[in-house]
Chain A
Amino acid sequence: MTVHPSSAAPAGRGSAPLLAGLFVATAVLVAYGFWSLGGLPELASRHGVSIDATITYLFVTTGILFLLGHGVLTLFVLRYAGSAERAAPERGSPHASSKLEWRWALVPVLVMCVIAEGGVLIVGMPAFAQLYGEAPPDSFVVEVVGKQFEWLVHYPGPDGVFGRSEAKLVNDARNPIGLDKKDPAAKDDIYTRGQMHLPVGRGALIRLRALDVLHSFTVPQFRVKQDLIPGFLGRTQFEPTRTGQYELACAELCGLGHYRMRGFITVESQEEVDQWLSEQEPAF
């Protein structure tokens, strides 16, 4: 049992290599984990290239800082472990001049300004601009309506105009998105339950609205995430670059079925999309 620690000084000299080992192991394992386990799902959108580039940029920069920090911590733990003789002279005075302290405050400030602000403004901004800038004029426009716990996908039909919809017209079986029959533009509209088809290589502009609570439109492969806010018409845009089927998930807690709010996005050629659309029943 440990006695009075000050009389037992220097407490636990054997701890230095133990803790040094712990910090080295932490550094190595965390970095190795990022390297081997930190893979993102295969990319399938155009703007995603810049998002992935920003993530890679952060991997490299924060990785260096992480390893450097742990390296110095390990060295100091080993080097400055208390010795039996007090104040070993070769270590010099622990009192740093305020000049030295300010210099070492300036280093992280400059480094973080370059790394962090550079990441936001230089590396990250282009992707953000693509995601939130003006949509290409020839974009394929679809509306997604979120409700507990289902994605309703609404196409404007051949006239290219979305029909009016209203909350009081919502009928779960016959008219789940509340389209107004009296609106001529609504007649040819198409809606599906959780099935979205998008043309490959063409910008997709997704209008987002929610009927009940918050939801969030998420497709990891597209590097897209955008909340659906009741009472608010939102949007997101991206260009699918790979054909295939993708899962549409909800990222904003929306109730007990949040975990099973699943939709499907099929990315295929424009002809196939047109063909599929022509096979769908119009709303009225």
Chain B
Amino acid sequence: MVERAGTGVLTAERAGPTARVEEHHAPRSFLGRYVFSTDHKVIGLQYLLTAMLMALVGGALAVMIRYQLAWPEKTVVTPETYLALVTMHGTIMVFFVVSLALVSGFGNFLIPLHIGARDMAYPFLNMLSFWTVVPGCLLMLAAFFVEGGAAAAGWTAYPPLSALKEAVPGSGLGQTLWLLAMALFIASFTMGGLNYITTILNCRAKGMTLMRMPLTVWMFFVSAVLGVLAFPPLTAAALMLLGDRHLGTSFFLPGGLVFGEEVLAHEGGTPLLFQHLFWFLGHPEVYVIVLPAIGIAFDVIATHARRPPFGYRISVYATLLIAFLSMIVWGHHMYVSGMNPLVGEYFSIATVSITAPFSVLGINLIGSLWRGQIRFTTPMYFALGIISVIGTGGLGGLYLGTSTTDVYFHDSYFVVGHFHLMIGVVTLMGTFAGCYQWFPKMFGRLMNERLGKLHFWLTFVPMMAVFVLMHYQGLSGMLRRYYDHSLFEFQTAGRALNKPITYFALLAVGGQLVFLVNFFWSARRGVRASENPWEGASMEWNTASPAPHGNFGPEDPVARRGPYEYAPQDSHQEYLPQWTA
């Protein structure tokens, strides 16, 4: 019998081969099953649904931003409200949509299933981490309703703007709520990260060596390590900023700040310190959310191209190298901040060196199609789309990582287009690929393929159009975070693209409704899925659809080979599941 130890550890390996999961272990009350659940699959879904709700808000904000930019003369928002829209859209999308859905949602849902564990290492901590982020979401949303409005200093929250209520209306209570919500998010994310690391290192099924783990699990592992290392400096920065705002400290505020004719009492700090702390997190965060999407692409491609990923081990090594490099390149966000140019050159050299391991991942993704037997299912559509988006947006990074050209592109729409492609479209498409792929394990049904493919076209085409057009705006010199671009003559050329971008953006947002309809309709009415509808070879297909409490039935699963034994060399079978003898 499997015992929950004091820490709540529940592992297949430790429980031994005679372990049995008895039915009565599954909680029966509604609260226990669906609200305060410690089951990693329920928690994963809770994260996913929370992220969907937040995405509705983030998407609505995007529509309002695009409306203002396309029709500034028919404006319905004030400049300060516009800045609040931009700030909250960025924060909500990066942290409360993409991070929650992809990293917290799929990380929780997939890791135990993939490695043959019965749950996460710390189920209670897992539940706690979800219930920590919920008040974070509520605080973030509450900021819209307080005096002065929501935070308006940008998602980067650079002081002095974010530190002083004199600087911008949103820097009142709205900014305080923003900081508290971020602190809760970070606390939740750190709990989740520690749980991932422990689970992956300690709870793998018998025979599941590290190099037999699916690439998705590797990517979640690296992402969790990065998150745990990179987030604490931002926590410190948030606390210091709260101190500057409310306790009269001056970590980020130098002497002699003048607003109107009033000289503030702060003295001795520097705004640059915050930028270093912010980007020490901010850059690794990019990889925290991009790597899992790439991992999902690898797994989806392997399943539907019916062949192992090209260069599995090399991809693992490349990912580790990317993770290391991502921790030492944060300064490339600060080339024009007055940083010593020699330091800038160092950051530039280090930054563009990431393109080497990153293109290895790109080559391996494409190579994973080589001599395959591609089945064009919906998840495969999204995975192939990810290759194209990475091959477009990734190269744009060179223009920004090269310090010389960044002087021109910094804070222009080129940046906006670039990061939306990489941490917006790639991550969203990774999330969608994951939804279509593992929906059977969530609800025991398949998502509708026709609606799924329609969703792909309504995602890929308009989103690429929006963000590639923004690159052209950046080339023409158009600057970001502008309420209205019509006051500057040099922005005339870029401004001409604002309306087309808005039309495409509306299409992209509308296209997501197809997904929502498909998701909720298929959860109840979709075609019933067998245990292994995609003929997948990795461990999660070795259980019922939907996966039951405890994941794997009475016998502990054993990994007898790698997760990608498609077209095996010494067998006549089309694929060899990881779990069969």
Contacts and interface: CB of A to CB of B under 8 A. Distances in A.
Contact of B527 (A2, A16, A231): A2
B256 A231 contact: yes
Interface residues of A, number: 119
A5 B446 contact: yes
Contacts of B412: 251
Interface in A21-39: 22-23, 26, 29-30, 33-34, 37-39
A259 B482 contact: yes
B512 interface: no
A171 B398 CA distance: 45
Contact of A80 (B314, B371, B396): B371
Contacts of A275: none
A92 B371 contact: yes
A211 B574 CA distance: 70
Given A77-B384, A172-B260, A230 B254 contact: yes
A218 B341 CA distance: 18
B314 A51 contact: no
Contact of B154 (A58, A225, A253): A253
B180 interface: no
A30 B421 CA distance: 13
Most buried by A among B78, B407, B448, B483: B407
Contact of A113 (B154, B356, B404): B356
B497 interface: yes
Contacts of B407: 51, 128, 131, 223-225
A225 B336 contact: yes
A154 to B, nearest CB: 15
B131 interface: no
Given A81-B374, A93-B569, A253-B154, A40 B477 contact: yes
Interface in A79-120: 80-83, 86-88, 91-96, 98, 101-102, 104-105, 107-109, 111-113, 115-117, 119-120
Contacts of A187: none
Contacts of B257: 167, 211-212, 230-231
B296 to A, nearest CB: 18
Nearest 6 A/B pairs, CB to CB:
A231-B254, A124-B404, A15-B376, A220-B477, A167-B256, A132-B341
Interface of B: 78-80, 83, 152-154, 158, 160-161, 164, 167-169, 253-261, 263, 269-272, 304-308, 310-311, 313-314, 318, 336-338, 341, 344-345, 348-349, 352-353, 355-357, 359-360, 362-364, 366-367, 369-377, 381, 384, 387-388, 391-392, 395-396, 398-399, 401-405, 407-408, 410-412, 446, 448-450, 453, 460-461, 464, 468-469, 471-472, 475-477, 479, 481-485, 487-490, 493, 497, 527, 529-530, 532-535, 566-567, 569, 574
Interface of A: 1-6, 9-13, 15-16, 19, 22-23, 26, 29-30, 33-34, 37-41, 50-51, 54-55, 58, 62, 65-66, 69-70, 72-73, 76-77, 80-83, 86-88, 91-96, 98, 101-102, 104-105, 107-109, 111-113, 115-117, 119-121, 123-125, 127-129, 131-132, 147-148, 166-168, 170-172, 178, 211-214, 216, 218, 220-221, 223-227, 229-232, 234, 247, 249-260, 262
9 contacts: A15-B376, A23-B388, A34-B471, A96-B370, A112-B352, A120-B403, A167-B263, A225-B410, A256-B152
